[in-house]
A and B are shown apart, each in its own frame.
Chain A
C-alpha cells in the first residue's frame, strides 16, 4: 500500500469515528461541521473527476450544488403550499427529490457541456462560469422561490428507514455517499473510459489519432460529475434546510476548486483532505478574527506558489 492510500484511509477512518463521538458527547457543533465537510467533499470529489483527471477547469461547479439543493427545496415548497401536483413534484419524498436533483444536473451538464467543451483553456474556464452565473441570476429573479432572500426548506427529504432530522443519521448518509462517490470516481478513472479521459488531458491530439473522440468522453465525464454534484447539493439542502442563490455565487465555485487543488487533484483522497482542511481552517480562522479572509487568501496564494500536488503531495503515491 502506498503512503497516499494509507493517508486516505486514515482520513476516512477519522471522519467515520470522530463525528459519532461528537454526537454522543453532545458536541452538536462539531458534528455539524463534520457533516458540512463531508457533503462538500462529495462535491469536491465530483469536481476532481473533470478538473483533476479530465483537465477540464470548470469554474461553475457551485451551480450544480445549488440546483441539487433547489431540487429538494422546490418540491418541498409545493408540498406545503400547493402547485405542481400534476407533475408529481409536490412531495417531500427523497426517492423523488434526489433522483430529480441528479437528473436536472445531468441534463444541465449535458446541454451546457456540449457548448463549453467546444472551447479550450481560459475560454472554457469562463464559459462554465457564465452558465453558472445564468443559473445564479435565474434563481435570484424567480420571486416565487424567494429570489434573493432564499427559500426555507420546511421538511427534510423523507427516505425509507432514515430520519434526516436526526443529525447523526444525516451524517451517516453523507459519509456513506462520500465513500460511494470516491469508489465510483476511482472505478471510472481506472477503467478504459478513464484512461481515455486522462489521456485526453495529457494530449488530446494523440487520443484523436488513436481513433477516439475526446469530446464524447469529456462530455460523459462532465455529465457524471454534474449529477454527482447535484446529489451533494440535495444533501446540502437537507443539511442547511435553507437555500439561497448565494450558494451558487462564482466565489463558491472558486472555493470548490481550491478544495480540490489544496488536497491534491487527480488523487482519490485529495478532494476529501482539501475539503476537510478548507472547512476546518475557515472555522478556526473565523473564530479568531472577523478578518479571517486575509490569512486565508494569503494561504491560498502560498499553496499555489509553493506546493505542488497539494496536501497529497506530502505522501508518496504508487509508482
Chain B
C-alpha cells in the first residue's frame, strides 16, 4: 500500500461522503420533520445536474449556472411537496414508497424527453481544470478540492441555519413535535414546503457539483438514492449529526474498500482467494455495515431523542 494512493483515495472518499451528505441531509430532514419517505429525492439530484448542464451552455459560466439552477431545483422540490407528498402525509410509509417510486419513473422519463437519452457533459471553468502537485507521486485535481470545500461549506451553512436561525429553530421544533408547532400559530404547510425545497436544493447542488466529473445522465439518481438511504439509516433517521457522520463514514469505507480491500484480504488468505472475493465484498461493504449497525442498534447510530 503506498501512501500517495491512500491520500488520494481518502480525499475521494471525503468527496463522496460530502456529496452523500448533501443528498442525505434533505432526505433526513424530510423524514424527520414530515415523516415522509421520499424515494424520488435523488431525482432532484439528477434534475439539478441536467438543469445546471443546460444553463452552463446557455450562460457560458458554470458558477452562474449553479446559482440560477439552485432556486429552480428548490422550486421543483416545492412542487413535489405540494402535489405528491402533501396528500400522502396521513398515509403509511408503504404508500409513500409506491407513490415516490412512480415519481421516479415520471421524472426519469421527463428528463429523457427533455434532454434526450444521452448524458450531457459539463465543461469546467478554466481555473479548475488544473491539478495540484503535492509531491511527485501525489497529484490532485483542483476541482476535487472545490467539491470538498463546497460540500463542507454547505454542511457548515446548514448547521448554522438549523442551530442559529429562526427557521432552523422551527425545523427542530417541527422534528420533535409538529402538531405543537402548528398549534403555536406557525404556518406548518409553509414550513413543510420550505423544508422540501431546501432538501431539493441541497440534493440538486450535489448533482450540479458531480456533473462536471460524471456528466448529467438519466438514472444517475437511482444509485445515489439507495446509498443515501443507507446513510440516513446508519446515522439514525431524522438526525442531522448522524447523517453527517454516517455520510463521511460510508463515503470513506466505500472508496477505501474498493481500492484496498484486496490488499487487506491478502494478509489473511491466499492471493487468489483475495483477488476473487475482494470485488464482491467491497461492493457489498456499505450494505454489510448497515446490516451490522441495524442488528446492534435497530434505530441507527444516533436515534433522534423525541419520536
Q: Is the CB of B295 within 8 A of A118?
A: yes
User: Contact string, A35-63, partner B, CB cutoff 8 A, digits 1/0?
Assistant: 00000000000000001000001010000
**Do A254 and B287 have beta carbons less than 8 Å apart?**
no
Q: How many residues of B contact A (CB 8 A)?
A: 43
Q: Which listed residue (A57, A141, A254) contacts B101, Cβ 8 A? A: A254
Q: Does B180 sit within 8 A of A, measured CB to CB?
A: no
Interface membership of B167, Cβ < 8 A: no
Which residues of B have CB within 8 Å of A122? 31, 37, 93, 237
Which residues does chain A contribute within 8 Å of B299, judged by CB atoms?
A: 123
A-B contact count (CB 8 A): 125
B30 nearest CB across to chain A (Å)? 12
Assembled-state Cα–Cα distance A207/B88 (Å): 29
A257 nearest CB across to chain B (Å): 6
Which single residue of chain B is at the shortest CB-CB distance from A258?
A: B98
Inter-subunit contact B280/A123 (CB<8 Å): no
**Chain B residue at minimal CB-CB distance from A290:** B112
A140–B279 alpha-carbon span in the complex (Å): 10
B280 contacts A142, C-beta separation under 8 Å: yes
- B107 to chain A: which residues have CB within 8 Å? 297
Please tell me if A129 contacts chain B, counting CB pairs below 8 Å: yes
Main secondary structure of the interface of B (DSSP, over half): helix
**B109 on interface, CB distance cutoff 8 Å:** yes
A309 to B23, CA, bound (A): 33
Q: Which segment of A233-241, A300-308, A311-319 sits at the interface?
A: A300-308
Given contacts A133-B287, A141-B283, contact A301 B226 (CB under 8 A): no
Q: How far is the CA of A250 from the CA of B93 in the complex (A)?
A: 17
* Closest Cβ neighbor of A139 among chain B residues: B280
User: Which A residues are in CB contact (< 8 Å) with B224?
Assistant: none
Identify which of residues 272-302 in chain B touch chain A, using a CB-to-CB cut-off of 8 Å.
Answer: 279-280, 283-284, 287-288, 290-291, 294-295, 298-300
Query: What is the chain A residue whose CB lies nearest that of B276?
Result: A143
**A300 near B98 (CB under 8 angstroms)?**
yes
Q: Give min CB distance, A215 to chain B, whole Å.
A: 12
B64, CB-defined interface residue at 8 Å = no
Residues of A within 8 A of B109 (CB): 291, 293-294, 297
A21 within 8 A of B: no
Whether B102 is near chain A, meaning CB under 8 Å from some CB there, is: yes
- Report A248 CB to chain B, min CB distance, Å: 13
Please report the C-alpha to C-alpha distance between residue A91 and residue B93 in the assembled complex, in whole angstroms. Answer: 44
Q: Which residue of A lies closest to B113 (CB)?
A: A291
Residues in chain A near residue B291, CB distance under 8 A = 112, 115, 127, 130-131, 134
How far is A251 from B40 in the complex, measured between Cα atoms in Å? Answer: 12
CB distance from B23 to the nearest CB of A (A): 15
A144's nearest neighbour on chain B, judged by CB, is B276
Contacts A122-B31, A122-B237, A123-B237; is A137 near B101 (CB within 8 Å)? no
Report Cα–Cα, A257/B300, bound state, in Å. Answer: 25
Selected contact of B287 from candidates A125, A130, A142, A258, CB within 8 Å: A130
- In the complex, chain B residues whose CB is within 8 Å of the CB of A300: 98-99, 101-102, 105
- A138 interface residue, CB < 8 Å from B? yes
Which A238-253 residues sit within 8 Å CB-CB of chain B? 250-251
Give 10 pairs: A residue, B residue, CB < 8 Å, sorted on A: A119-B298, A121-B93, A123-B299, A127-B291, A257-B98, A293-B105, A294-B106, A294-B109, A301-B103, A304-B95
Residues of B within 8 A of A (CB): 31, 37, 84, 87-88, 91, 93-95, 97-99, 101-110, 112-113, 222, 226, 229-230, 233, 237, 279-280, 283-284, 287-288, 290-291, 294-295, 298-300
**Residues on A close to B: CB < 8 A?**
51, 57, 59, 112, 115, 118-123, 125-127, 129-131, 133-134, 137-138, 140-142, 250-251, 254, 257-258, 261, 291, 293-294, 296-301, 303-305
